[in-house]
Amino acid sequence: MVQIGDIHIGKTAAAGNPQVSLAEAQILWDFLLARYRCIEETQILQHLAHDPDFKFFIVREMDNTLKRQANELEKELNKIGLPLPKRPPKYVSDAVGSPDVFTDEYLFNQLYIGCGTYFDQLASAVKGLRNNDTLRKRFMKYLEREMEIYDNLIKFGKLKGWLDVPPMYNPH
């Protein structure tokens, strides 16, 4: 049977949920765990940040996207009957440490590096999702959203002077 969008072509005993391979189930579980970790790290960054614009950026660009994607992945894992990884805490306590320990520039660069690393993981997942077209499309949308966030992160970092931008090359 071949699935194109929501249409199934070919012979099947019964029309049901699209099947997921073992590798695809692992990708779903791993990416939900990654989203959970990013949610927790984002909460920590927001707690430690000083700059109000940076705090707003974290919530608008990161937190909302991460939670929405985690909810979607939870639904997929529940649909195929896999247990969910341990969820992150709902709130980060003041025990995280003093916000004065880290500069906003350092926190921004941690976010920038993490966002860039996630590209490779998403691209690898898209390549690995060969059986389930719906899941592959969802991960392609995640990659597209991650690129939008990354682009906005670069613009924000340049605006604040926190992004190390190489000098322009002039051979003369």
How many Cα atoms within 13 Å fall on the side-chain side of residue 122?
19
One pLDDT digit (tens) per residue for the chain, 172 residues = 566 665 656 665 555 556 788 889 899 999 999 999 888 888 888 888 899 999 999 888 887 889 999 999 999 999 988 889 888 877 766 555 666 678 899 899 999 988 888 888 999 999 999 988 999 999 999 999 999 999 999 999 999 999 887 777 777 7
Specify the pLDDT at position 119: 85
Specify the pLDDT at position 141: 96
Specify the pLDDT at position 99: 62
* Other beta carbons less than 10 A from residue 166's beta carbon: 5
pTM value is 0.77
CATH assignment of 19-85+98-160? 1.20.1260.10
Q: HEC profile for 12-81?
A: CCCCCCCCCCHHHHHHHHHHHHHHHHHHHHHHHHHHHCCCHHHHHHHHHHHHHHHHHHHHHHHHHHHHHC
Specify the pLDDT at position 95: 53
Six token digits for residue 165? 């931008």
In DSSP terms, which residues pair with 2 in a beta bridge?
A: 9
DSSP 8-state secondary structure symbol assigned to residue 87: P
Q: Between the CA atoms of 8, 9, 11 and 14, what dihedral angle is there, to the nearest 10 degrees?
A: 20
Specify the pLDDT at position 154: 94
Specify the pLDDT at position 153: 93
